[in-house]
Amino acid sequence: MMISTLKQAILITIGTLFCLLSYSQTSTFPQLSMEAHRGGRGLFPENTIEAMKFALELPGTNTLEMDLCISKDKKVVVSHDVYFHQNITTTPQGKYLTAEEAKTHLLYQMNYDSIRKYDVGLKPHPDYPKQQRFATVKPLLEDLLNETEKTADKQGRKIYYNMEIKSRKAGDEKEHPVPEEFVDLVYKILKEKGIVSRTVIQSFDMRPLQVLHRKYPEVKLSLLTGKNAVSPQQMINRLGFTPAVYSPEYHTVSAEMIAFCHERNIKVLPWTVNTKEEIDQLISLGVDGIISDYPDLFKDVSRKTINK
């Protein structure tokens, strides 16, 4: 009788844990993560508050993808480049930068009060003629989150974030702080805003991911890989642990890659997919989400496959 009761208790406990685990997995990551790359830079100036808020108004978008840099006064700035890129920048004097001049305007060598004097929305982008043009600045992460969370609350839903840490070993203490300090600055904001469970941190640089895995294991991590990456097995071996997400350049995605990742409970999230045909093809192949410069394309994806 005691043995039977013990078995029943064990089975109930296992079942409870399984339900909790399943709930955790489904409630903190969309079934199909439809991500506005840099807020949807094909439509709005990249990595701006205006872009992120606009993306949230588009049917299908459930995740905002963005990039993080650090200023001289150690503020987390939403920016893809560690400098003011010549394709998007207008100086406080109303001038454009050459490629050579742009790379001397490093965010990590500027306090945020200086950074916010530069415009990144007025100059026509040579690669994205559909972008709306207006005056705007590189925002602080905390300011951006205040606005996106407020927008999502008005819509009565939760949104998700995919944030890339922009770092490389050669850039330590020149273009950004060392990985541990970088990670601590970002995590502090995620914790204060209460969005850790809804945020994935991604990077091509394995070092910040390794720091996060060690210090903040509750954070979901994504390994970004490019066109010339070796196999997922080799990349994950180099990383040293199994990430929640494997994020390859979309041309490199294959059925074999997806099978390998799914067997290990790793989600596959390709970047950057900018046509409806390619989006459909990759979803049919079995990817777990799409990162696109054109989140307006998501409206045609089956509503049944998107977990809002």
Contact 269, 289 (CB under 8 A): yes
pLDDT of 262 > 50? The answer is yes
- The residue-averaged pLDDT of 291-303 equals 87
Q: Beta-carbon neighbour count of residue 226 at 10 Å?
A: 10
Distance from C-alpha of 160 to C-alpha of 180, rounded to nearest angstrom:
24
Q: What share of the chain is helix, strand, coil (3-state, %, to 5)?
A: 45, 15, 40
pLDDT tens digits along 65-93: 999 999 999 999 999 999 999 999 999 99
Amino acid residing at 290? I
pLDDT of 15 > 50? The answer is no
Q: Which two tokens stand for residue 12?
A: 């109930």
pLDDT tens digits along 233-257: 999 999 999 999 999 999 999 999 9
N- to C-terminal Cα separation, the chain: 47
- Among the residue ranges 187-191, 212-216, 297-301, the one predicted with the least confidence is 297-301
Domain ranges of the chain: 1-30, 31-305
Domain 31-305 of CATH type 3.90.25.10: no
pLDDT tens digits along 127-137: 999 999 999 99
* pLDDT score of 300: 79
pLDDT tens digits along 18-61: 333 333 333 468 999 999 999 999 999 999 999 999 999 999 99
Higher pLDDT, 100 or 303: 100
CA distances in angstroms from 291 to 230, 234, 254, 277, 298, listed in the order given = 21, 24, 16, 14, 10
- Is the Cα dihedral 120, 124, 125, 126 positive or negative? negative
Closest CA to 34 of 285, 212, 282, 242: 282
Residues in the chain: 308
pLDDT of 302 > 70? The answer is no
* pLDDT score of 154: 97
* pLDDT score of 8: 43
* pLDDT score of 29: 83
Contact 253, 278 (CB under 8 A): no
Displacement of CA 79 from its chain's centroid (Å): 12
pLDDT of 170 > 70? The answer is yes
Cβ neighbours for 101, distance < 8 A, ≥ 6 positions apart: 86
Higher pLDDT, 19 or 268: 268
At 1, the pLDDT band (50, 70, 90 cuts) reads very low
277 φ, ψ to 5°?
-65, -45
* pLDDT score of 16: 35
Distance from C-alpha of 51 to C-alpha of 56, rounded to nearest angstrom:
9
Higher pLDDT, 19 or 286: 286
pLDDT tens digits along 39-51: 999 999 999 999 9
* pLDDT score of 301: 82
Burial class (CB in 10 A: 0-12, 13-18, 19+), 60: buried
